[in-house]
Amino acid sequence: MSFVPYSTQDIDEADIAAVAEALRGAYLTQGPAIGRFEEAFAHRHDVPHALAVSNATAGLHIACLALGLGPGGLLWTCPNSFVASANCARYCGADVDFVDLDPRTRNISVAALEEKLAAAAAAGRLPDVVVPIDFSGLPADLREIRALADRYGFKILEDASHATGATYLDRPVGSAFADVTVFSFHAVKIVTTAEGGMVTTRDPQLASRLGLLRSHGITRDPALFEGAPDGPWDYQQTDLGFNYRITDLQAALGLSQLARVEAMQARREALADRYDARLAGLPLRLPARLPDRRSSWHLYVVEIDDERTDVGRADVFATLRAAQIGANVHYIPIHTQPYYRRLGFEPGDFPAAERYYRNAITLPLYPKLSEADQDRVVATLAAALERRA
C-alpha cells in the first residue's frame, strides 16, 4: 500500500528544464531570474512591488521592521497559525498578543478584533501591526480589517503564506487592503522554489526599505549614499539588514511554477469539491465556502463534529496513519507553545482556536493526488468515524 502524504511538491519537466538552464547560465545566486520572477509575481498579483526573499519567515521579519515595529511595539495576530506569524514581532523586540479565530473561516475574527481594539484604545495601548493569516488559502476579512486599521491607526501585515493565487473581492490576494503581504514558496506550498518567499506592497518607500533589509542594509545607489561615492565599485551599508536573499536557481523554479499556478489551483479546487461531496454525510465540519473570495486550497482541513460523534481526533488520526495516509494537524495554537506560555499566555485564553485545534485534521490535498487515493482517504476516514470510543 503506497503512502499518501498530506501534501507534496508538483514538479514537471518544464520546472526541471528551467533550473537546468539557470545552472548553465552565468549566475547561481544573484542573477536575472530573480527580477523576472518578481516582475511576473507582481503582475499576477496586481501589485507594483514584489521582492523575493529566502523564506516567508524572513519576509515577515523584514516587513515588521519596515513597518517600524521595534522594542516597545505591539503586534497582534491569530493563534491559528505557524509560530512564524508571531515570532516575527519577537525578532524585533516587540510584544505579541492574539485575537481569537472565527470558527467558520478559521481566520482572525473581525468581531473579536473590533472588541479587543475598543478595549485597547480605552487602556491606551493599541497594536502597531496586526497580522491576519489567510489560513489554508482562504483570504481573511481584509476589507473589514482595513476599516479598523484606518480607525485605530495600525498597519496590516497579511500573512498569505498559504494563499498564492487566491482572490478576494475579485482581486488577487496581496493587491489591496494590506500594507505589506508575505507569501511562502516552501516545498508544499501552491508555488514552490524549494524554500523561499515574496513580499508585496503598493508603497514605494516600504519597497525600498524592504530591499535594503533583505540584503545586509547595503545599497549601490549613489542617490542613497552619505557623501560622494569613491568610484563605480562603491557601496554603502545604510541600515542593519540581513542576508535574506533568494537565489537565481530558486527564482528560475518559481518563475516556471508561476506559469501554471492557475492549472495547479484548478486541480486543487476540483479535489476540494470532490472532498466536499464525498464527506457531506459524515460528522465533520468542512472548510468554509464564501462567495466573495476564492481559496488557493493549500490545505483541506476538516473538524470532527463532537456533537455528532464520540470518536476522537486521536483515534481518527491513528487510523489514517495506520492506513498509510499522511494526515496532519494545522495548527497547535501559538499561545499554548512553551515559549509563549513563558510570556504569560495560558490554555483557555483563546477558546475558539483551542476548540478548533482539538478536532482538526488536515487531509491530503495536492495537484498530483489521484482520485483513487482520495477515495481511499475518504473511505478510511468514514470507517474511522463509524467506530465508537
Known catalytic residues are 189
Alpha helix (H) ranges present in the chain?
Answer: 13-24, 32-44, 56-66, 84-91, 110-123, 142-152, 204-213, 248-258, 261-279, 313-322, 338-342, 351-359, 371-386
With vertex at residue 257, the alpha carbon angle to CA 253 and CA 259, rounded to the nearest 5 degrees, is 125
State the amino acid at position 185 in one-letter form.
Answer: F
Terminal CA-CA length for the chain = 27
Q: Which three cell numbers stand for residue 123?
A: 487602556
Within 8 A by CB and 6+ apart from 287, the residues are 136, 138, 272, 295, 300, 301, 302
Query: E strand or H helix at 218, and its extent?
Result: strand 218-219
The pairing of strands 171-172 and 167-168 is: antiparallel
The pairing of strands 74-77 and 129-131 is: parallel
Q: How far apart are CA 138 and CA 207, in angstroms?
A: 25
Q: Peptide bond preceding 331: is omega within 30 degrees of 0, i.e. cis?
A: yes
Q: How far apart are CA 389 and CA 387, in angstroms?
A: 7
- Give the Å distances, CA to CA, from 39 to 33, 165, 259, 296: 10, 15, 12, 21
Helix, strand, coil percentages for the chain (3-state, nearest 5)? 40, 15, 45
Q: How far apart are CA 59 and CA 57, in angstroms?
A: 5
CB atoms within 10 A of CB 29: 11
Q: How far apart are CA 327 and CA 329, in angstroms?
A: 7
Cα Rg of the chain (Å, integer): 22
